[in-house]
Structure formats: C-alpha cells, structure tokens
Amino acid sequence: MTDRPTTADPLAATCPAPLVEHERVLLGHGSGGQLSAALMRDVIAPALARASAGGPLNDAAVIEVAAGRLAFTTDTFVVSPLRFPGGDIGELAVNGTVNDLAMMGAQPVAISLAYVIEEGLPFDELREVTESVARAAAAAGVRVVTGDTKVVGRGAADRLFVNTAGIGIVADGVALGADRARAGDAVLLSGPIGLHGVAVMSVREGLEFEVEIASDTQPLHRVAAAILAAAPDAHVLRDPTRGGLASALNEIAGASGVGVELDEAAIPVPGPVRAACEMLGLDPFHVANEGKCVAIVPAERAEAVLDAMRALPEGEGASIVGRVVADHPGMVTIHTLVGAERIVDMLVGEQLPRIC
Amino acid sequence: MKYVDEFRDGRRAKALVREIHRVTTRPWTMMEVCGGQTHTIVKQGIDEMLPEGVRMIHGPGCPVCVTPLEQVDKALAIAADPNVIFTSYGDMLRVPGSTTDLLALKARGADVRIVYSPLDAVRIAREHPDRQVVFFAIGFETTAPANAMAVWQAAEQGIDNFSVLVSHVLVPPAMEAILQSPSNQVQSFLAAGHVCAVMGWTEYEPIAARYHVPIVVTGFEPLDLLEGMLMAIRQLEEGRAEVENQYSRAVRREGNRLAQETVFRVFEIGDRTWRGIGQIPASGYRLQERFARFDAERRFHVGDIATKEHPACIAGEILQGTRTPLDCTAYGVLCSPQRPLGAPMVSAEGTCAAFHAAGRGLGPTVRPLAMAASREVAR
C-alpha cells in the first residue's frame, strides 16, 4: 500500500501542451494572431501563389492603371455543396466576378478574395478551393491582390462563404448598359442554358441522372471582347445567372423600356437539363447559368457577332434567339413551339419543384 | 428528348389545329381536369389557337390548389413543433395558410424539408429516430400509390416516428360534382392522363353515360392536348358520349393493378373537403383504422383546426370553372405569385398562376418588377 501514492503530487504536475490542430480550421485561426498567420502561410498563400501579386502583406493593394474608366463589382458566393459537377465555389467566385466585369465591356485586372469560414472546415477543402481560385484567376488573366479571412462558430455559416470584388478597365468608346437596348436590335445567346442550376440542384438533392450534368462555369471576358470587336456599338451584355434567361431579359426590357420577342425553337436547352426540369417541374428559362452571355446588338451586326462568338469555345453554341421590339415595353414574349405567343415572366421567389 | 420532342412538333400541332377548325361547326365548352394540362395549354398558348366559341375551362385538378386551408393550417401547426421534421413536395411550401406558410415557418427555424418522394421521408425518419418525421400526403390518385407505400414500409420496418398528414382527393367525384352544379357549362372532359395511368378509365364509363358527356383520357404534351381536344370535339359534333383514350402510350383500361392494390392496402375512401368547392362525399382517401398510428392529425392533436378564406378570393369558382382569374378583382392587384391569396395562384399548375405566368390580363404596370428576396440557391 505504501508504494502507491494516494494523492497527486503538485510538484510533479505539468501543464498539458496545447494540441496543434493540423487538419481543420478552428475559431483561433480567425483571431489575427499566430494561428491566423499560420493559416495564411501554410494553406492559403501557397495555394494562391500562381495568381497572387506576392510581396509583403500590406493593408491594401496598390494597382497601377492607365487613365480612363474603371469598372468595379462585388459578389458573394454561398453555394452548397462547395464542390459540384463541373466546378467548385472558388472557380465560381472568380468566374462570376470576371463575368460581371466583362458584361460591362471591362478587361478584368484584379480581384479581392474574402473567406468566411465555419469552424471545422478541413484544411484540405480550403486548400482545394483556394487552388481552384488561383487556377481560374490565371485562366482569366486576373490577379488576386487583396483578401481577408474570418472564422465563425459552427452553424453561423455553411462551411465556407466567399466574397469577391473586382476591377477592370473599360476601353474608350464602349457604352454598354441594361438601359441601352433599342427596338430593332438582335438578341444573341452564347450557348445552351440551365446547366449550372441543374448541376447544383442534382448534387444537393441527391438526384442522379444517366448523364452527369456539369455546371457551365467559365470566364466570359474573351467572348465579351470578341463581341465588342465585331460590334463596338453593342448595346447590352448580360450574364443570365440566378433567375435565368427570363429574369435577365425582363430586367433589360424594363430598364430599356422596350419589348423582347424570343423564338422558343432557337433557344438551346440541353437534353439532360430539359429532362431534369420536366421531372422537377422547373422552367429552364428560370434556371441559373454561370458561363453564358446575352448580347443585344444592332441587327446589322448580328451575323458578325454570331461568327465572333462561335469562333471561341465559350461561344460555340451561340445563336440568335430573338429581337428587340417597340411593342409591349417592359415585357418579354416568346413564340412557342406550337406557334402561339406567351409572356415570359421573371422568377418569383425560390424555384419549387412541383408535385406532379 | 424521346417521348417529349415528338409531342411538341410545331408542324404537327398546326395540322391538328387545322383539323380542329375543320370539324368544329358550333361553340363547345370543354374542361381539362388536370393542372399539368392547364399549365401546358396556357404556357403554349393552345387555347388561343382554338376556333372562336370553343372554350377550355380549367378544372380542379391541381392537388396543391384543392388542399383545404385547414389542412394547410394543420401542417403549419405540426411543423412549428421543434421536435418535428416536416417533409413535403416543393410547391406546398408556398401555399398560404391563415397566417403564414411553410417557407416562412422554415425561415423562423422550423425544420421543413422538400422531398421528391414520400419514401425519402421514411428514410429521414429512419435516420432520425429521436425526431418525429411527418410527410404531407397530398395529391390525386397519381401520388396515392407512393404515399401508401411509404406508410406500408414504415409499418413493415417498425418506423414509429413517421406519420402522414393525409389530404388525398379523387377525380371522378369532383367531375360529378361539377356536372351536378346548376351553373355547369362543361360539355366534355379531357380526363387526367396520369390519374388514369394508375386507376384506368372504367370509373369514367358510367359518368359519360349518365351525364352524356364525352370523356377523353389525355396526356400532357401540346400534341396530346390538341389531339384530346380534337377527339372530344368529334364526339360532341357526332353526338357521342364515350370514354376514349388519347394517352395510349401510358394508360390501359384497367390501369395499374399493382399500384391500385398498394393504395387499398393502406387507404380507404372517405369524405373530403376541397378548397373552393366544399365537402364532396366519398371524394378522397383516408388511412385505414389499422394504420391510425401513422395519422399525423391524431398524433399531434390538430384534428379540430378550422379556418376561413380571404373574402376577395374567388378560388372556389375558379376551381369549378364558373369564373376565370380575369373575373377576379384581386387578381394581379392584391393577389400575385409573390403574395398569393388563394391556392390557384401558388402552384405552377394552378389556373391563376398559369394565367399570371403567361401575363394574361396583366399590363406592364402591374407586372412584378422585383424578385422576392430568397436565398440564392446556386451561387
């Protein structure tokens, strides 16, 4: 009995060394202290290397630009799941920002990248998303020049939210805007619609189709540049993201005070998207796209713009889908497959699958 | 896409329209029963291609629209229970109850989930044995087999935390109620193809004979509807009143026996209240007594909830086809898909929503200008 101590010896006690978490983001990684620096040094900076400016971390980036006009945009990405067929949130964030600039005719120059991370996100996922940001930025020819990282408690975010801002340079003479469509203009679309929304919905809802439907996320700066080269007097460029083609065209019709007439047979909807929409009771015209562009140009330039779009892989499925008219201002109509006319309305609220 | 493209062919559609014009000698009023058919007709503008005087009345066949307000209020009461995971088909989520809807309840923290099959709800119950999982079992004969199967599987597997809030309705009693109404104008029906895929068409034969109305079992694509209309008009012109089958690629006279057996293992026929129409005897399904433990109304003691409709809403007359949304003072003004007063404005299959989506009777000034704020789903 005497050789086993019955009470603890205070002199023999040691403070347990803190365990270092090597796999997941902790609240402490957002503290601004050593863990934050380590997250930046070990995970984010290496993954971002090929697209970042390098150099010491300063409070703001300083960018040299020539005199002229800048386009400036911001966007936030909350897609769930983070990875989906055809892309992930990192690629989507860069392409979405680049496309918003491109739709104003701007050559994208630099973007910012801010993360809101839910604690517990594996480093590996953060690294993959960040590498994907770098890849997409390199492909679009933009640099990530500034950024931020915050960590929030479990449940306060859904794994990872990404916020971006972007700036680009608008060439002299370019005058694009949602309010510039004129009666007589042609309406062009750069390719098939509905892919992104259906791809995300299919993974989120666990729906399986015989053919995998991949998101169309891609940068549109080259398509936009080609359109402007063929028609420097183009009136409107717009990427029909959430709300789909229907909402984008309704916004243009409303802002320009014109009507838009579409031809249903000319609008490319991929077979799998149509099948999924039929099954779920969704309208492909309301489903989000992330790599398509609507161009509204003077009718006499339509063929030249079409050729310019089709010369690029991003625009190889381009077609002329309708025209701008003076009738029914603020309204989009469609010539249906069976030969009647109907109005194409904006999406109301969330898309809800129908019962039967 | 196979079975779709060939039924949307513009040239064949025009040929059918020409034939309809050729055989029609006087005005006729027909009703398409199913909301899916209404959607196609309005979306494709088919009714506007018909001869002058040939009128389509849009029938009560949208399951979301005819689910009575008190069932929606019961669903809301159940879903508000923090221990409940409430599961439903998507378009029930926006149906307004007396005070709120399921989407708003979800935003306030209720666990409301969209499922694509009732069997998904059973799976959720299996995965969450500590929670109560309730499925909103609505619909016509079309959804009844799957809903019955969910209850059957839960019973077989002893999943006692699963229950269903039943609001099942049947097509033939509703057709008879319409035909018996003193203000009835319907001279012929396009019966709902998918209901008949389950039940067959023998139940319609006595109706056609008793009321002398042609009934054509019809599909949902533009060419299906045009062909169904042509068949119905031919019968009307020739004075025949038979049940014919346009939708032969999906429907047999006896229906789907296996599906029918599944339904009658779990459900029995009972009286049902229809939103906008009122109570119709023997017009729906209820759980058999031996499955009473899966009845959410009993489990959550919500059986005595009673409610009343918005006074401006004429959903009842619209569902019975005696008036159209264009006759409604609230349509497009007080009532829109963003702020629906009545159920036909909620589901894409509802007559009011179908009219609104196609811009019928709406000038640009009353068209919705902004999208409702909702969580961005895809970015």
ipTM: 0.72
The class (CATH top level) of B1-310 is: alpha beta
Report the alpha-carbon distance of residue A184 to residue A298 in Å, rounded.
7
Residue A203 in contact with partner chain B when CB distance is under 8 A: no
Q: Do residues A162 and A196 share a domain? A: no
Cβ contact B62:B350 at 8 Å: yes
Task: Find the helix or strand (DSSP H, E) in which B19 lies.
Answer: helix B10-23
Angle A282-A288-A292 from CA coordinates, rounded to 5° = 130
- Is the four-CA dihedral B320, B325, B326, B330 of positive or negative sign? positive
* Interacting residues of A75 by C-beta distance below 8 A, sequence separation 6+: A93, A96, A97, A100, A163, A164, A165, B379
Question: Is A351 inside any structural domain?
Answer: no
Strands A106-118 and A143-152: parallel
- Please give the backbone phi and psi of residue A36, each rounded to the nearest 5 degrees, phi first: -60, -45
* pLDDT on residue B97: 85
Pair A220, A189: CB distance under 8 Å: no
- Whole-number Å distance between alpha carbons of B291 and B339: 37
A338 contacts on B by Cβ (under 8 Å):
8, 10, 13-14, 44-46, 49, 222, 226
Q: How far apart are the first and last CA of chain A?
A: 78
Residue A14 belongs to some domain of the structure: no
Partner-chain residue, chosen from B94, B139, B364, that has the shortest CB–CB distance to A330: B364
Which chain B residue has the Cα nearest residue A161?
B379
Cβ distance of A356 and B63 shorter than 8 Å: yes
pLDDT at position B221: 94
Chain-chain contact of A356 with B139 (C-beta, under 8 angstroms)? yes
**Minimal Cα distance from B12: which residue of A?**
A338
CB of B368 within 8 A of CB of B339?
Answer: no
* pLDDT at site A17: 64
Residue count of chain B:
379
Least confidently predicted of A113-117, A269-273, A351-355:
A351-355
Q: List the single residue in B222, B337, B377 with the smallest CB-CB distance to A338.
A: B222
Whole-structure pTM value = 0.82
A99 touches chain B (CB under 8 A): no
For residues A228 and A160, state if they share a domain: no
Mean pLDDT, chain A, as a whole number?
90
A34 has a pLDDT exceeding 50:
yes
Average pLDDT over residues A152-156: 94
Domain match, A270 and A149 both = no
User: Distance between CA A123 and CA B140 in Å, rounded?
Assistant: 50
Same domain for A140 and A93? yes
Q: Is residue A58 part of a domain?
A: no
Supply the pLDDT for residue B124: 97
A173, A179, A63, A82: which is closest to A132 by C-alpha? A82
Which residues in chain A touch residue B93, judged by CB atoms under 8 angstroms apart?
Answer: 352
User: On the CB side of B103, how many CA atoms lie within 13 Å of its CA?
Assistant: 19
Residue A52's pLDDT band, with cuts at 50, 70 and 90, is: confident
Q: What is the pLDDT of residue B4?
A: 75
The pLDDT score that the predictor gives to residue A18 is 60
What does the alpha-carbon distance between residue B211 and residue A283 come to, in Å, rounded to a whole number?
Answer: 38
Residues in chain A with CB shorter than 8 Å from the CB of B346 are: none
Indicate if A116 and A204 belong to the same structural domain.
Answer: no
B376 neighbourhood in chain A, CB within 8 Å: 78, 242
Total domain count, chain A? 2
Of A331, A336, A352, Cβ closest to residue B44: A336
Q: Which residue of A has its CA nearest to B223?
A: A338
How far, in whole angstroms, is CA A301 from its chain's centroid?
29
- 3-class SS of residue A126: helix
For residue B301, what are the contacts with CB-CB under 8 A and spacing of at least 6? none
Inside any domain, residue A34: yes
Window A:216-245, CB contacts with B under 8 Å: 241-243
What confidence score (pLDDT) does residue A10 get? 66
Distance CA A193, CA A284 (A): 7
d(Cα B142, Cα B206) in Å, to the nearest integer? 21
pLDDT at A294: 98
Within this chain, do residues A243 and A164 fall inside the same structural domain, yes or no?
no
8 A C-beta contact, residue A136 and residue A90: yes
Whether A329 maps to a domain, the answer reads yes
CA dihedral A278, A280, A283, A289 (to 10 degrees): -110
Q: What percent of chain A clears pLDDT 70, i.e. is strictly above it? A: 91
What is the domain extent for residue A311? 186-344
Q: Do B90 and A355 touch (CB under 8 A)?
A: yes
Kindly determine whether residue B371 and residue A349, on different chains, have CB atoms separated by under 8 Å.
Answer: yes
Is A196 touching B (CB cutoff 8 A)? yes
| Total CB pairs under 8 A between chain A and B | 156
CATH of the domain at A318: 3.90.650.10
- Listed by start position, the domains of chain B span 1-310, 315-366
A328 located within any domain: yes
pLDDT 10s per residue in chain B (379 long)? Answer: 677 778 888 899 999 999 999 999 999 999 999 988 998 998 888 988 999 999 998 888 888 888 888 899 999 999 999 999 999 998 888 888 888 889 899 999 999 998 989 999 999 999 999 999 999 999 999 999 999 999 999 999 999 999 999 999 999 999 998 899 888 899 999 999 999 999 999 999 999 999 999 999 999 999 999 999 999 999 999 999 999 999 999 999 999 999 999 999 999 999 998 887 788 999 999 999 999 999 999 999 997 887 777 788 888 788 777 888 999 999 988 898 877 887 788 776 688 888 887 778 875 433 332 222 223 334 5
Residues A163, A36 share a domain: yes
Q: Where are the alpha helices (DSSP H) in B200-323?
A: 204-211, 222-238, 257-266, 296-299, 315-320
The string of DSSP letters for B102-159 reads HHHHHHTT-EEEE-SSHHHHHHHHHH-TTSEEEEEEEESTTTHHHHHHHHHHHHHTT-
Query: Helix or strand or coil: residue B31?
Result: strand
Interface test with B, best of A207, A338, A350 (most B CBs within 10 A): A338
CB-CB contact of B145 with B198 (8 Å): yes
Residues A279 and A319 occupy one common structural domain:
yes
CB atoms within 10 A of CB B176: 17
Report the DSSP pairing between strands B188-192 and B162-169.
unpaired
Question: What pLDDT sits at residue A184?
Answer: 97
Which residues of B fall within a CB distance of 8 Å from A96?
379
User: Model confidence over A289-320: pLDDT tens digits?
Assistant: 999 999 999 999 999 999 999 999 999 999 99
**Long-range own/partner contacts, residues B238-244 (CB < 8 A, 24 or more apart):** B240/B214, B241/B208, B241/B209, B241/B211, B241/B212, B241/B213, B241/B214, B242/B208, B242/B214, B242/B215, B243/B191, B243/B201, B243/B204, B243/B205, B243/B208, B243/B215, B243/B216, B243/B217, B244/B214, B244/B215, B244/B216, B244/B217
Of A114, A143, A170, the residue that ends a domain is: A170
- For residues A163 and A275, membership in a common domain is answered with no
Domain C-terminal end among A139, A170, A201: A170
pLDDT of residue B371: 28
Nearest CA in chain B to A327: B364
Q: What is residue A259's predicted lDDT score, i.e. its pLDDT?
A: 97
Could you tell me if A141 and A243 lie in one domain?
Answer: no
Residue B77 zone, left/alpha/beta (φ > 0; ψ -120 to 50; rest): alpha
Domain boundary among A117, A143, A170: A170
Residue written as token pair 């892989």: A313
Q: Do A166 and A195 sit in the same domain of this protein?
A: no
CB contact under 8 A, A265 and B10: yes
**Strand pairing category for B267-274 and B278-287:** antiparallel
Query: Residue A330 above 50 pLDDT?
Result: yes
Q: Is A179 within the bounds of a domain? A: no
On chain A, the residues whose CB falls within 8 A of the CB of B372 are 348-349
Residue A262: other Cβ atoms inside 10 A: 22
- CATH code assigned at A150: 3.30.1330.10
State the Cα–Cα distance between residues A163 and A112, nearest whole angstrom.
Answer: 8
A337 interface with B at CB cutoff 8 Å:
yes
Instruction: Print the SS3 string covering A3-19.
Output: CCCCCCCHHHCCCCCCC
Cα separation, A26 vs B269, whole angstroms:
57
Q: If 0-12 CB within 10 Å is exposed, 13-18 middle and 19+ buried, where does residue B290 land? A: exposed
Contact assessment for residue B54 and residue B233, using Cβ atoms and an 8 Å cutoff: yes
B45 to A201: CB separation less than 8 angstroms, yes or no: no
Cα nearest neighbour of B336 on chain A: A348
Amino acid at A111: I
User: Bridge-partner residues for B224, per DSSP?
Assistant: none
A264 in the same domain as A214: yes
Report residue A151's pLDDT band, with 50, 70 and 90 as the boundaries.
very high
